Chains A and B, each alone.
Chain A
Amino acid sequence: MRTFKIFSKVLYYMLIALVISLALFPIFWTVTTSFKTKLDALSDTPVWIFKPIIESYQYITYAKIAFPRYLLNSMIISFGAAIIAVTVGSIAAYAFARYDFKGKEKIAFWILSTRMMPAPAVVIPLYILMRGLNLIDTHLAPILAHVIITLPFAVWVMRGFFEEIPVEIEEAALVDGCSRWQTFLKIVLPLSRPGLIVTFFFSVMFSWSEFLFSLVLTSTWAKPATVANTEFRGWMETAWGPAFAAATITIIPIFIITLFLQKHLVRGLTLGAVKG
Chain B
Amino acid sequence: MKIQSRLTPYFFISGALIFLFVLTIFPLLYSLVLSFHDWNLTKSVSWEFVGFRNYWEILKNPVFWRVIINTFIFTISSVSLQFAFGLGLANLFNKEIKGEGVIRSAMVLPMVIPSILVGLIWLFMYKRDFGIINYMLGLLNIQPIAWLSTSMNSMAAIIIADVWQWTPFMFLLLLAGLRSLPTEQYESARVDGASSWQIFRYITLPLLRPVITIALVIRSMDAFREFDKIFQLTGGGPGVATETISLFIYRNGFRYFNMGYASAISYLTLIIIIIFSTLYIRVFQRREESKV
Contacts and interface: CB of A to CB of B under 8 A. Distances in A.
Interface in B242-275: 245-246, 249-250, 253-254, 259, 262-263, 266-267, 269-270, 273
Interface stretch (A62-70, A145-153, A189-197): A145-153
A75 interface: no
Interface in A93-144: 94-96, 99, 101, 104, 107, 111, 114, 116-129, 144
A26 B109 CA distance: 11
Contact of A273 (B105, B122, B214): B214
Given A26-B164, A120-B246, A212-B227, A107 B129 contact: no
Q: Is the interface of A mostly helix, strand, loop or mixed?
A: helix
Most buried by A among B13, B132, B225: B13
Interface residues of B, number: 81
Interface residues of A, number: 83
A27 B31 CA distance: 40
Interface in B156-193: 164, 168-169, 172-173, 176-177
Contacts of B225: 118-120
B221 A124 contact: no
Interface stretch (B14-22, B48-56, B58-66, B195-203): B14-22
A276 B179 CA distance: 9
Given A121-B28, A124-B249, A274-B211, A16 B103 contact: yes
A19 to B, nearest CB: 6
Given A92-B16, A180-B8, A274-B177, A125 B114 contact: no
Contacts of A22: 164
A226 B114 contact: yes
Given A43-B130, A121-B28, A151 B19 contact: yes
B228 A211 contact: yes
Contacts of B267: 121
Contact of B26 (A116, A129, A270): A129
A88 interface: yes
B113, B125, B263: which has the most chain A beta carbons within 10 Å?
B113
A120 B266 contact: yes
A173 interface: no
B140 interface: no
A247 B253 CA distance: 28
Contacts of A167: none
Contacts of A45: 135
B114 A99 contact: no
5 contacts: A44-B135, A107-B13, A116-B277, A212-B228, A229-B117
Interface of A: 12, 15-16, 19-20, 22-24, 26-27, 29-30, 33, 42-46, 84, 88-89, 91-92, 94-96, 99, 101, 104, 107, 111, 114, 116-129, 144-145, 147-148, 151-152, 155, 180, 205, 208-212, 216, 226, 229-230, 240, 243-244, 247, 250-251, 254-255, 257-259, 262, 265-266, 269-270, 273-274, 276
Given A128-B30, A229-B120, A258-B105, 13 more contacts: A20-B103, A24-B109, A95-B10, A118-B225, A122-B28, A148-B20, A180-B8, A205-B112, A212-B246, A243-B120, A258-B108, A269-B173, A273-B214
